[in-house]
Amino acid sequence: MTEKKTAKKKKESLKATLVIVESPAKAKTIEKYLGPGYTVKASMGHLIDLPKSRLAINIDDNFQPEYITVRGRAKILKELQKDAKKSTEVLLASDNDREGEAIAWHLKNALSGKTKADIRRIVFNEITPQAIAESVKNPSDIDEFKVNAQKARRVLDRLVGYNLSPLLWKKVKNGLSAGRVQSVALRLICDREKEVEQFIPEEYWSLEADFAKGKSLFTAQLVQYAEKKVELKSEADVRKIIDEIKNSECTVSDIKVSEKTLKPKPPFTTSKLQQAAANKLGFTSRKTMQIAQQLYEGVNIGSNRIGLITYMRTDSVRISQTALDDVRSWITEKFPKDLPDHAIEYSVGKKAQDAHEAIRPTYTSYTPEYVKEFLNRDQLRLYSIIWERFVSSQMNNAKSKTTSLDISAGSALFRISGSKIVDKGFYRVIKTLSSKEESTKTLPSLTVGEKLNTGKFHPEQHFTQGPARFTDASIVKILEEKGIGRPSTYAPIISVLLDRYYVTRSNKQLVPTQLGRMINDILVESFPAVVNENFTADMETKLDDVEENNIEWPKMIGSFFHPFKDRVEEVMATLESFKGLMDEPTDKVCELCGKPMVKKLGRFGFFLACSGFPACHNTRSIPLAVCPRPGCGGEIVARKTKGRGKEFYGCTNYPDCDFISHFKPINADCPQCGQFMVEKYDKKHGTYKSCINPECNYLHTAEEAEAEVKSDESSDD
């Protein structure tokens, strides 16, 4: 046999394996690892799914779904079928979760009739050469129960959405939609908004005083008066205490020193990563997951392409033995004194599926410092907190020492405390500490009984703060605590509410729109069980039962659907239409044609439109308040800047009246002067309410109010 024929025969004998992943980035990384004989292609997510234009659920046949090729994806499917036909083996490597299992199941069904190749499933938790090689060596069958759980969730959500949405179209406005889990999240946000609006702030005061020992000056806070916890409700209360103690002898009455053990936190789950990224980096949940996906699927580190973190959708804190050995080896080399005798195990929550490990770096040696030149700024910041959290989770506890000084002055007791880390432990690998962790006060060296000199007193007025609106971090936290949704759904839940304009972001807080509140009111009133957090959490548990083969999915769907459908029909027949609100008459007159203006509800909330439409297209914003300028008589409406479209609030008599405010008027008058109130936000106080009148000090000083108005006017100029 000639050399040429031998080479040809050898080439033909090579196993032609097609590997199908979900994304091109992942395909690019994996193809580098596998070498000759392997072709890696991307399905681009779901190729086969329910159609968007109809229900496509056969109610009479055990709720069987009617799948089709996703519009625009037929070409990709044909290419994969062609590649499969030329292969001797097909490995389905979609993500290791319910959605990924369903993608693999659909692909197997679509490819089976087009190839004689053996079609198997492979899964991995990280994209590294070792993990990929191991998964290719050990292919398995598709998990039918996991597929059933995804099918049940898809059918359940379709039945809810396709029954509630037409109800909203008929009773409220065309084009609206409602979802099973998103509606519960919307209810939580709307309920919190009601608490924010109903909260009435109460005045209280604090008092600090300067004390001195020689040239050493320090400030302590009043914590006790007349042997009781201090409660200062007015300036008069503060002045009374100051007058009593200003000439009193001041003595160090007690010094306490205590030590505290600080334990490291477990490595990240999906929800905890989203919360940490929101709080520390200011990332939205969607942004966090997008960047985590990039780190997971692979980035170029020099000449190598590597997945830097493990799979980012997980509710488990479990760590593989290989990873534990790796991180303990690194700690032994870098910080041997901070290595525990044994690896630290963290308990997995009852609701955790534990299908994956926690989110961790694939290689501990790839420190943030090592990879920083290969990552963009946001990738590096997210990778850094993942790396630090994982490595620190396997290090010794830290220890802090707190010194507390009590100073007696007449009947008053002042206190100052300072803490410092005395044994850094796991903090050695955490570069960015929180303000609470790194806050320290330098205290003078004093002894009990020592006399001190007094300096200035610093009384300060405060107002109690109401409940905070949800942020991405806090809504994810409460969804996780209540068992609503799963790691893969937290970010999409928020995104859907924002995309539908049921919720907006303001100062990183989630605020329901008028439209969102109206939808929520209807759903809560008519379908209290469906938008009940306990019911939704129970459904998630039942989906887990389907995956564990403890319940047949059609029975699970049936027990919910039939009473739900009856309720939909009842509400459809009895609920009063809200469409009248879409064209509510007003006493406003169109300035262009003189016809009456009507109040309408659009995608972005209520607005005024001319009743002469389509002959007249005039629209304008709903007045929010009366202009505070004396003698103006105009109204305050929402407006947007020409360039960036930033919202502000101005007078309808512009340009004759140039009043503007960057703070939104709220439906409340100032109890002191009667002018309208606005909502403000700052990092120190959070969200609070204040009077627009610069001469009124309700909730803040007149100087602050005047400065804000001047700032508004200068910004407009």
Q: Give the span between the Cα atoms of 677 and 658, in whole angstroms.
A: 19
Q: Which two tokens stand for residue 533?
A: 């957090």
Ranges of beta strands (E only) in 230-372 are 250-262, 299-301, 304-306
CB-CB contact of 42 with 21 (8 Å): yes
Q: Which two tokens stand for residue 53?
A: 């234009």
Q: Which two tokens stand for residue 473?
A: 């971090």
Q: Which residues pair with 408 in a beta bridge?
A: 251, 413
Which residue bears the tokens 């000639």?
Answer: 2
Q: Which two tokens stand for residue 694?
A: 């610069």
CA distances from 614 to 312, 322, 604, 605, 617 (A): 51, 70, 20, 21, 6
| Closest to 623 (Cα-Cα) out of 610, 607, 642 | 607
Annotated catalytic residue 311 = yes
Three-state SS at 416: strand
| Closest to 367 (Cα-Cα) out of 344, 346, 384 | 384
CB-CB contact of 672 with 659 (8 Å): no
Q: Which residues pair with 299 in a beta bridge?
A: 306
Q: Give the span between the Cα atoms of 109 and 147, in whole angstroms.
A: 13
CB-CB contact of 586 with 606 (8 Å): no
Pairing of strands 676-682, 635-640: unpaired
Given the residues 225, 311, 363, 649, the one annotated as active site: 311
Query: Residue 286 belongs to what H/E stretch?
Result: helix 285-297
What does the DSSP 8-state code read for residue 175?
Answer: T
CA distances from 179 to 98, 447, 488, 542, 707 (A): 19, 65, 16, 18, 45
Q: Give the span between the Cα atoms of 468 and 471, in whole angstroms.
A: 9
- In this structure, how many other beta carbons lie within 10 angstroms of the beta carbon of residue 569? 12
Q: Which residues pair with 514 in a beta bridge?
A: none
Give the DSSP letter string of 304-340: EEE--B--S--------HHHHHHHHHHHHHH-GGG--
Three-state SS at 248: coil
Q: Give the span between the Cα atoms of 83 and 39, in whole angstroms.
A: 9
Helix axes 180-198, 472-481, angle to 10 degrees: 120
Give residue 83's region: left, alpha or beta (phi > 0; psi -120 to 50): alpha
Q: Which residues pair with 607 in a beta bridge?
A: 600
Which residue bears the tokens 């597929």?
Answer: 147
| Closest to 177 (Cα-Cα) out of 156, 193, 160 | 160
Q: What angle do CA 386, 351, 283 make, to 5 degrees?
A: 35
Q: Give the span between the Cα atoms of 667 and 682, in whole angstroms.
A: 21
Write out the catalytic residue numbers. Answer: 311
